[in-house]
Structures are given as C-alpha cells and as structure tokens.
Structure 1
Amino acid sequence: MTARTPRRRRTLAGHLVLLTTVVAAVAALLTGLVAWQSAAHAAEQRERDTLTRQATLLSHLPALSPVLFHGAERLAGPNGEQFAVLAADGTVTGGAAPALDLASRATLLAGRTVSTDGLLAGQDVLVVGSPTASGGAVVLTEPYATVDRTTDQIRRDIALPLLVGLLGAALAGGLLARRLARPLTASAAVAHRLAEGERGVVAPTGGPREAAEIGRALTTLDQALARSENRQREFLLSVSHELRTPLTAVQGYAEALADGLIEPEQVPEVGRTLAEETRRLDRFLADLLALARLEADDFHVEAAATDLGVVVAEAAAFWSGPCASHGVELRVERPEAPLMVTTDPFRVRQLLDGLVQNALRVTPAGAPVVLAVHAEEGAAVLQVRDGGPGLTEDDIAVAFEPGALHSRYRATRTVGSGLGLAIAHRLTARLGGDITAQGHGPEGGACFTVKLQPPQGRGELREQPPGADGPVR
C-alpha cells in the first residue's frame, strides 16, 4: 500500500493573488454586464438626441421644402436618414412619410414633439418629429441598424478598460501578497528556529501592523522561553545538588558498613543518620511528585461546604507541637462565627500545612507564627505570617517559582526542597483562589495571603451566628 503524498497547500501570497483576481473578475463581470445592457439604451438615446437636434434645426428654416427635397441625400449622409414634411392640413411628403402613423401626426399637429419607433420599407427605424412655426412639422427617421453599430462600438470601447482593470487588480494583488507574505514568512522561520531550541532570534517587525505585532510577540516569546529555560536549568541544578548530598551520605555509610569500617557501637548512630537522609530524600521526592500532580489535568478537587475556621483550628492543633519544640509561639486569629465557603477542606489543609512548615523553618525561637482567617470583600482570606527575616522585593517577584528562593538562601538560611511555595501557588489556583506574598507583615517576617472566591452567582461565603448548625468539613 503506497503512502499518499500530502497535498501541497497554497501559500498566503497565492491566496491573496487568487482572491484579488477573483474579486476583480467579478467586479469586471458585473460592470461589463451592466455596461453591456445599458450600451444599447445609451446608443439609442444618443441617436434620438442627434435626430431631435437636426429636426429642431430644420423646423426653424424659413424655406423648408427646397432644403428637404433638393439636399436630402447630402444631409442624410451615411446613416440612412430619411426626411418628411407634415403640412398644416395633415398631408405628408418625403421618404420618411410611411413611418409616421396617425397618432404621431396628431401629436405633431397639436404642436408637440414626437420621439417613437416605426417601420419603413420593412425596416425598424427611429422616428423623431419637431413642429414648425407654420403649423406643420419636420420628421426624421434613422434605421435601427445605426443604433446597433453604435452599440457594438460602445461595447468594444468598454472591453479594453475592463481587461486592463482585471490585469491591474491581479498585479496589485501580487504586490499586496508579497508585502504581506514576506514578514509572515520571516516570522514563521523565526518560530521554527525557536521550536528547534535556538534563542536570541530577532523577529521582523516591518510590514503591516498585524505582521509587526506577530514579530514583537515572537520576540517576547523568545525572551520568555529563555527566562523559563534558565530557571528550569537552575532548578535542575538545585535538584541535583539536593539529591546528591543525601545520596552521598547514604552511599558513604553503606560502603563503610559493607567494608566493616563501622564499629559496633556506632551502628545505631549510623542507622539514624541513614534514616534521616532517606527521609530527606523521601520528602524531596514527595514534593516533586506533588508539584507534578498539580500540573496534571486530572487533578481532583472535591468541593464541599467548609468552615474555614475549623480547618485553621485543626491545623493549629497539629502545628502547636512542632512550634513549641522550636520555641516558636503559634497564634490563631479566627472569627467567632463559622466562616462557610464551598471548597475542598483537605486541599485547604494541605495548603496551610505547607505555608506553616515554610514559616516555621525560617522563624527564630521567641518569634511568632500566625494562622489567620477572616472574610474580606466577599472573599475568604487565609493568612500565614511569621516573625522571620522576611522577603525582599526581588524575592517576592520569584517567590512562587520552583527553587528560586532555595538557590538564593541555601547558604544563609534553613531551606527545604525549594518547592513548597510553588506547590502552594498551584494548589491555590486549583482551588480557584489567589495567593500573594508580602515581604514584611505585622510580625516583621513574610506574610502569605490566600483569597478563596465563592462561586459566581452563588452566595456561598457566609458567616453563621455562633451556635448555628452547619457542616464543618
């Protein structure tokens, strides 16, 4: 079975040339049809106007009969015009007499002009009559064949301009297509180079505004990709460093045990060290796995009516022990009435645990860690504040990027895996909320604020009076 050759698509320039040519052809066709139909009417009207002027001129001549009958052939020329004279008594003389019917005679004798059709020697003719001052009239006729010849000439005259217009439109379409396609083709080449991993590519910004906007967007994308890849590279270096340290310890102690270099009385201490290093590895890998799960499309959130005050109280009960062992004061700020919101209580607790763990790591003994919850402008607000060293403005700009703060402070502060704040940021987004960082809160250290918005159109956020019944979690 032979593979089908993919059909080659027409380029943008080809589409534009084809489109402009088709539009010009349709316009030329419609113009030609209108002109073709109106040419006969215009030719007939022109011949009638000519006959009318001649008849009017002749009707003013004082010696009418000698002019008509002695110079008729000379006046008629090549058009085959025929003349007739209508006397005041109704008699008609001249070659055009048979074409003048009774109705036209009556009209002319009444002093009104006539412009109509007639039949002369078996041939269709134009009939034009003009009354004279003496009470009669002058009548002129001209064969319709003259009108047909004039019509054909008009139609030939309009054919060439229409053809020139069609060719001009095709040429203009080609020039326009070239002007539009050139920056787009260059932008496509830049996009392919970016996709192949090249960075620092300068995209074209010439041409029409839309094409220039595409070029600027590609330049912005190039810069964003470069920043993202640099951060990923730094994060991977940080991850490798964090993994190498406990792995080196585990490997060293394992080789020492295998070689019998550990004294029997040192084995329990070595075992505890190995257990601590493996727990450290486990925590780091768990954070990596949590971050990956939060990025997945099938991450599940089970929303239910939740009292955030109860969730905060449960978190405080759990962290009171670790805080006490570190000499850190744990404070809780919560409203007396239940603060109800539709969210996933398990994920909210996971979010709070990560933020408190991060705060406890940098808070010195004697300083506080604060867990707070309250309602603010239609949203439920959760806060974790600490009395640690806080964050700079530069820290806040990258606080939720994986490993960013970790790489900055691992030599000066106690740090974790470097993924906690990134997990908190993604988890908040999954809950439909927003998280922000403040460099120095009321306690002097960092302050992280999470706002959980209620669903639109549903008054899910509410405070119940103390003692009211309602679901807790």
Structure 2
Amino acid sequence: MTGFRAAGRAGRRTGLAGELVLLAGAVTTVAVLLTGLVAWHTVRGTAEAQERDQLARQAKVLSRVPALSALLYEGEQRIAGANGVEIAVVDAAGVVGGPAAPALGTPQRDVLLSGRTLSSTGELRGTEVLVEGIPARRGGAVVLTRPLTDVDAAAARMRRDLLLPLGAGLAGAVAAGVLLARRLARPLGHAVDVAARLAAGERGVTDADPAAAPGPAEAVELGRALGVLDAALAHGERRQRDFLLSVSHEIRTPLTSVLGYAEALADEVVPAERLPGAARVLHAEARRLDRFLADLLDLAALEADDFRLDPADTDLDALVGEAAAVWRERCTRHGVEFRIERAGRPVPARTDGFRVRQLTDCLLANALRLTPAGAPVVLAVRVRDGGAEIEVRDGGPGLTEDDLAVAFERGALHERYRGLRPVGTGLGLAIAHRLATRLDGTLTARARGPEGGAVFTLGLPTTGKP
C-alpha cells in the first residue's frame, strides 16, 4: 500500500514540460510587467520632453522674425490656434508682452535677456504650463507655453499604445517558453523511459547514436551515459550468467560423485574391500566442494562494505620468507623447483599481514597448478619507488594478451581453459585482485616472464621506515 500511495503521489506531480512552461510563463510575465511598469513611469517624462522639444522648435522659428512684437501680437491667435499654445514676447528692454506674459517671472526673463534658452514651468491663469523660451537675434526673446494637461493627455495616449505590444510580447514569450519546454522535456522524457526500461530488465534500448538525437548538449550526454549503462548492464549480466553456469558445473560434478557413492553405500552395493577407496573419493569431493564454497564466501566478503582489515606494522621481507618455507615443500612434492628472491633487508609496510599472506598463497597456488614438473615457481619481494612489490612468476604456459584483459574476472580464464589446462575454482584471481584493492594496493599481470610463464605483481605502499 505504501508503494501504491507513493506511486499515486508521483503520478499527481506536474511533469517536467508543465513545470518548464509554468516557469517560463512566470519569468516572462514578471519581465513584461517590470518592463511595462518602467515604461509606464517613463512615458510621462517622454511626453513632456516631446512637448518641450516641439515648443522649443516653434519658438526658435519665431525668434528669427525681425519685428517680434508687431508680427507676434497680430498673428498670435492664428499661430496658436486651438492647440493651447500661447505666446509671450520679451523685447530688448526687458518688457514682457503677450497672452503668456503672466507665466514668465523675473528670474526667467533675466535668463532670456542673458542670451540663454529657457526650459521651465510656470502658472498661467491658474493652470500649470510648460515654458520654453529662445533668445532673439536682435535682442529680446520669444516664449511659448502649453498646459501640462496636454502632456498628461499625450502620456495617456502613449500608455494606451503600450498595452498592445506588451500583451503581444507576453503572448510571444509564453509561446516561446512552451516550445523551449517541449524541446527540453522531450529528450529528458525519452531518457526517463529508457531508464525505466533498463530498470525493468530490458537491454539494448538506447539510441545507437545519441548525438543525432534532438536536444541540448546535456541531453546528448545523458543519452551517451545511458548507452554506457546499458552496455555495462548487458555485459555484467552476461558475465554473471556465464559465472553461474560455471559455478553450477563445478558444484554438480563433485556433488554427482558424492550422491552416487552415497546411494551405493546406502544400497550396500559397495564391497567391503572397496569401502576405504569410496571413503577417499567422498572425502576428496567433499573437500573440493568445501574449497569452492570457501572461495565464493571470500569473494562475497570482499565485495561487502564491512570487510574487515587489521592493519599493523609488517615486514614484507619476513612475510615472504615465511611463505617460502611452506611453498618450497609443496613444490617439491609436485616436482617443481621453488626459488625465492628476497630484498635482503626489512621492507616495512602498514598493512594487514594476514591478508597479504592470503593473497600471496592464492597467487602461488595458481602458479603451482599450472607449472609442469621440473619448471620453476619464483616468489620475489623488492622495494620500488616508495613502495614494495611481491611478485610470483612461473614456468607454465603463460597468458595471451586477450587473457590479460579478463584475467581478474570471475571464472573467465577457468571457462576459457577448462579441459585444456589444470584449472581451479575460477575464483582465485578475482579474489586476489579484490583483496589487493582492499589493501590499497594493485595487482597486475604480465603474459610472459623470465621463466616463460605468467607474472603476477602485487604492489603495496610502504611506511618509508628503514
């Protein structure tokens, strides 16, 4: 029920495209409103500037008329008409005349008589007006006024004219946001669908060429990442299937022997003189099963997050010497020559000595299994570039370059050489590689060494102490 409720909540959420549309709409609406607000407040100043400019140009034309007073007084009504513009004339002596004379104060008159232009406001018959004055060529000045109510009316017209472009801009921005949201959401929705199909177990569902798909660069990179994930999942599952088949084969063989002998003993069909031999077979097959299960448990433990290590000061040279004492005897029993190459001095390291010995034993067991009688197995330790190396070389058949690519994968070499070479459980090298990583070291392989066989090298950091 909890999962169903969670799915229901997830299903009620707005999709990415919807959220992008809402976001784009909100952003564009705020942008248009802010633009409109700024324009709304600047329109008044723009209208006033336009009216002043018009008055100034008219005054400039009139200021060039030779006989200012006679012409302006006689033609005042004709010039002003019904547009609200009124005229005042300042003669060279400073006398102000004309219908707009009351709007002109003494400070304003002095500005004009000094030869400077005038741009100010005043009051004419109880109405606030714009005042624009231009000095005349032969002295005096021409002044034109216009009511500020005309400016307000012009501003209102300009504001009405703003509504249509602002509305069109808002609609266009929302439409662009919808198109952008769809462009962004389409590849991401496709990626979600691919991820869901991968989670459901489908493989090979990604695009062959993500770069050819529409969408931004991030969507292309996401497509590539999903393609890599798809390939990795397919490869990992294929390796897992192969490994499980190998495991089942390895378990079935000894188990069949155990069951066969157990049934024979239960049916009392084994003669008394053959009982010791049957017991030895049962014991050997049981040990084989035990070894295989132990390797599986070791591998599972190494892949767990709580794998335990007990680091301590360890002399790797002494550790190699202890291992040599055991493996020299085992090699002798198999007719294999054992050699050791020591550093000749302590090789200190802060590591888990028990795990290093376990890893060394694993590599030596692998070498001994593949080395024919009379050929050597070599265990060496040396100091290299601030670290230490433990190396195991053998005189066996060696590896190919293709083998090196899968040498540390579970059961890879086991499956490849089963029936052709002596093989173990197929887990030894995988365990060794994971263990080396847990020890903050490295485990590498070379196809051929001086003895003719494979070379495995464990690199570990040292403490730097003499």
Three-state SS of the structure 2 residue aligned to 1:62 is coil
Tell me, yes or no, if structure 1 residue 24 matches structure 2 residue 28. yes
Report the aligned-residue RMSD: 1.8
Shift, 1:324, TM fit: 0.7
Three-state SS of the structure 1 residue aligned to 2:23 is helix
Shift, 1:154, TM fit: 2.3
1:41 to 41, 45, 52: 45
Shift, 1:120, TM fit: 0.8
Contact residue 428 and residue 450 of structure 1 kept, 8 A: yes
Instruction: Tell me the distance in 2 between the aligned counterparts of 1:100 and 1:109.
Output: 13
Tell me, yes or no, if structure 1 residue 177 matches structure 2 residue 181. yes
Contact residue 386 and residue 444 of structure 1 kept, 8 A: yes
Aligned pairs for 1:258-297 (under 5 A) are: 258-297=266-305
1:313 to 318, 321, 340: 321
Indicate the percent of aligned positions where both proteins have the same amino acid.
59
Q: Which moved more, 1:76-85 or 1:328-337?
A: 76-85
Amino acid at match of 2:366: N
Contact residue 79 and residue 146 of structure 1 kept, 8 A: no
Tell me, yes or no, if structure 1 residue 144 matches structure 2 residue 152. no
Three-state SS of the structure 1 residue aligned to 2:48 is helix
Amino acid at match of 1:461: G
Tell me, yes or no, if structure 1 residue 188 matches structure 2 residue 192. yes
Shift, 1:191, TM fit: 1.5
Contact residue 390 and residue 444 of structure 1 kept, 8 A: yes
Instruction: Tell me the distance in 2 between the aligned counterparts of 1:397 and 1:109.
Output: 100
Amino acid at match of 1:341: A
Aligned pairs for 1:174-253 (under 5 A) are: 174-203=178-207, 205=210, 206-207=213-214, 208-253=216-261
Instruction: Tell me the distance in 1 between the aligned counterparts of 2:188 and 2:80.
Output: 67
Q: Partner of 1:437 in structure 2?
A: 445
Instruction: Tell me the distance in 1 between the aligned counterparts of 2:197 and 2:53.
Output: 72
1:327 to 335, 346, 365: 335
The structure with higher relative contact order (CA 8 Å, sep 6+) is: 1
Aligned residues: 458
Tell me, yes or no, if structure 1 residue 111 matches structure 2 residue 118. no
Shift, 1:363, TM fit: 0.5
Shift, 1:162, TM fit: 2.3
Post-superposition Cα deviations, 1:29-65, rounded to whole Å, max 9, x if no partner, equal 3322322222111111111111111111111112333
Shift, 1:223, TM fit: 1.8
Instruction: Tell me the distance in 1 between the aligned counterparts of 2:169 and 2:323.
Output: 80
Q: Partner of 1:469 in structure 2?
A: none
Instruction: Tell me the distance in 2 between the aligned counterparts of 1:461 and 1:418.
Output: 36
Q: Which moved more, 1:152-161 or 1:262-271?
A: 152-161
Instruction: Tell me the distance in 2 between the aligned counterparts of 1:363 and 1:267.
Output: 34
Post-superposition Cα deviations, 1:309-365, rounded to whole Å, max 9, x if no partner, equal 111111111111111100111111121111111111111001001110111101011
Q: Which moved more, 1:146-155 or 1:356-365?
A: 146-155
Shift, 1:244, TM fit: 0.7
Tell me, yes or no, if structure 1 residue 397 matches structure 2 residue 405. yes
Three-state SS of the structure 1 residue aligned to 2:390 is strand
Shift, 1:153, TM fit: 2.1
Instruction: Tell me the distance in 2 between the aligned counterparts of 1:382 and 1:169.
Output: 68
Aligned pairs for 1:64-103 (under 5 A) are: 64-103=68-107
Instruction: Tell me the distance in 2 between the aligned counterparts of 1:240 and 1:383.
Output: 33
Instruction: Tell me the distance in 2 between the aligned counterparts of 1:195 and 1:429.
Output: 29
Three-state SS of the structure 2 residue aligned to 1:389 is coil
Contact residue 380 and residue 461 of structure 1 kept, 8 A: no
Tell me, yes or no, if structure 1 residue 55 matches structure 2 residue 63. no
Q: TM-score, normalised by structure 1?
A: 0.93
Q: Which runs of 5+ in 1 are unaligned?
A: 455-459, 465-473
Amino acid at match of 2:241: R
Inter-CA distance 33–453: structure 2 relative to 1 (3 Å threshold): farther
Three-state SS of the structure 2 residue aligned to 1:46 is helix
Q: Which runs of 5+ in 2 are unaligned?
A: none
Shift, 1:134, TM fit: 3.3
Instruction: Tell me the distance in 2 between the aligned counterparts of 1:286 and 1:297.
Output: 19
Q: TM-score, normalised by structure 2?
A: 0.94
Give runs of ≥4 in structure 1 deviating > 3 Å.
Answer: 1-5
Contact residue 69 and residue 91 of structure 2 kept, 8 A: no
Shift, 1:374, TM fit: 1.0
Contact residue 433 and residue 450 of structure 1 kept, 8 A: yes
Q: Partner of 2:464 in structure 1?
A: 461
Amino acid at match of 1:43: A
Tell me, yes or no, if structure 1 residue 343 matches structure 2 residue 337. no
Amino acid at match of 2:164: L
Q: Which moved more, 1:215-224 or 1:226-235?
A: 215-224
Q: Partner of 2:362 in structure 1?
A: 354
Instruction: Tell me the distance in 2 between the aligned counterparts of 1:235 and 1:53.
Output: 95
Amino acid at match of 2:313: A
Q: Which moved more, 1:11-20 or 1:378-387?
A: 11-20
